[in-house]
Amino acid sequence: MPNTISTKTFRDKYRSASLAQLLRRALIAEAICEVDRGGNKTIQNPYGSQPTVTVQALAGTYSINTYTTTDDTLTVTYEIIVAEHVFDFEETLTRFDLFANRTDEQNFAVAAAVDKFVLNTLVTNAGQDYTAPTGGFGTTANVPIIVSNLIAKVAGFSETYRGLYLVLESIDLVGVIQTQVAAGFSYADSALRNGLITTYMGVDVYVTRPSTFFTGTLGTSFTNQGKRLFGVKRACTYAEPRGVRFEEKGVSGKTGMEIVTFAYIGAKVWANNSELTVAIINNGSSTSASASKSPSLSPSQSPS
């Protein structure tokens, strides 16, 4: 019998009113990107060439320069979708709200897929690259060197007032945490007491699960295994027209309802400020660890 729940669900007492949620990874893309949920398929961002300035002795004369305008467009080209069928007897005879549970799980599965797609798109199209010293973030002595070099790559641009971000995988925290607690006096004390991972050297640190940056296919092909992401907040955009949506519909020949959750998605590193996004080649033991030691997660947790 397809899609059925085991007979244990009919009479046993449950710990909560709904099925326990699976482990869920943190979502990051919305915190670092400009997000557009309008109904448009494309977002236009034309930009002009930089003007040439002349410094000369007092003369009162000048030359006319030419300039060019370049079109740059974010186009929504992918959809993320998941569908399941909940039979009426499953909903009626179970002692929890199965329909609400499946809707909630699907919503998060789509949101997690959007997050993974956006982060990998930003790494792939970053305007700058940085190769970390051997050992990457997993080596304590490397952390201040890496972060200071990354800050130097975007320092001096006016957009940095928006704030800086660094996206790591959880396996990188070994070096980061040890660096923080070994820092001088009050900062180390704060790190020891409060687990100060959220910021380092003025950079907001976001942590995701292993294999978020991956080599494989998620709508399009990515080759980001072992890479990490750094940049200026809101320098990139992702479009998700009308957000995550769902439909429920009856299906001929089946009782119950079919649940479909979906979103349309496009992401863009804008050409005129692409240097504000940096792809990091982690260059450490955690590069292979992210593939070999990733926990076994369900498709709803780790879309790939």
Residue recorded with tokens 């709803």: 300
301 assigned to some structural domain = no
3 assigned to some structural domain = no
The Cα 251–Cα 270 span in angstroms is 43
192 assigned to some structural domain = yes
Write down the pLDDT at residue 86.
83
The boundaries of the domain holding residue 254 are 25-41+74-292
60 assigned to some structural domain = no
53 assigned to some structural domain = no
> Consecutive 10-residue runs of the chain (304 residues): their mean pLDDT?
54 50 80 91 88 90 89 92 85 70 85 94 97 92 93 94 93 84 56 58 90 94 96 94 86 86 93 95 59 38 40
Write down the pLDDT at residue 195.
43
Give the list of residues 6+ apart from residue 193 with CB closer than 8 angstroms, or none.
Answer: none
255 assigned to some structural domain = yes
Q: Which of 103, 117, 111, 124 is nearest to 277 (CA)?
A: 124
How many domains is the chain built from?
1
CATH assignment of the domain containing 104: 3.90.1690
185 assigned to some structural domain = yes
Provide the whole-model pTM. Answer: 0.80
Write down the pLDDT at residue 21.
62
Residue recorded with tokens 């669900």: 9
18 assigned to some structural domain = no
